[in-house]
Amino acid sequence: MATLKSINIGKPENVTVSGNRKMFTGIHKKPVHDKIFLDNLGFRGDSVADPNHHGGRDKAVCVYCVEHFPFWAKELTREMLPGAFGENLSVSGWTEKSVHIGDVFQVGEAQVQCTQPRQPCHKLNKVFDFQPMACRVQTTGFSGWYFRVTQPGWVTPGVEISRVQEDPKRISVDTANDLMHKNKKDWERIREILSVEGLSASWRKTFDKRLASGSSAGNEQLRLQGFE
């Protein structure tokens, strides 16, 4: 069981980043202190700047672990507060290693399902004024993850988050990150993650394409070696 430390929402806005440049982003989320309604596309009052890459049903809610804050505070020499990574839910008690793709959770009145890790984008580099930031998130595996909403409802800050259904494949967010960014040719594990119903459509498309490409290359290699 985990604790919901903070619910954070915000609207996209033009913000000044390093080099006195303007950037349109919805990453600056602020904590709310009363219950708030969570529907299929996210929390009411929250939105994203780039709907082509963020938000939508598979990425309705962004989650981040406060357990990672001390690491980033030391790495960046700055205070880390809830919402720092643009997450909607700042949670304590679970990390990428203990949450699985396809797991279903009860959060207040709402039910949600883990769909994929959060993929760091270049905006993190600018917001934190640290050029390797997105790369560091990727290499550490401290990515956070996304929920789709399977049952809308009211959510109150401070509630316990309980896992009501564990996906039988038990492929963690950490493992999904590893397959996406490091062990890109682990075909057996890629086939396994593709068998997880809860996997987001975008990650499924990427893994499907990678598997098809890898299988074609493998078959061609066998043909050239005279095995086909």
Name the class of domain 2-182: mainly beta
What pLDDT sits at residue 139? 93
3-state secondary structure 17-67: EHHHEEEEECCCCEEECCCEEEECCEECCCCCCCCCCCCCHHHCEEEEEHH
What pLDDT sits at residue 221? 44
What pLDDT sits at residue 147? 98
Q: How far apart are CA 172 and CA 8, in angstroms?
A: 24
CA distances from 75 to 29, 130, 206 (A): 21, 10, 31
Q: Which band of pLDDT confidence, cut at 50, 70 and 90, is reported for residue 227?
A: very low
Q: Which range among 12-26, 29-43, 126-140, 208-222 has the greatest average pLDDT?
A: 29-43
- 17: pLDDT strictly greater than 90: no
What pLDDT sits at residue 10? 93
User: Which tokens in the block code for residue 126?
Assistant: 């600018």
pTM of the model: 0.91
Q: What is the mean pLDDT of the chain?
A: 91
Q: Taking the domains of the chain in order of start, what are their residue ranges?
A: 2-182
Work out whether the CA dihedral 108, 9, 37, 59 comes out positive or negative.
negative
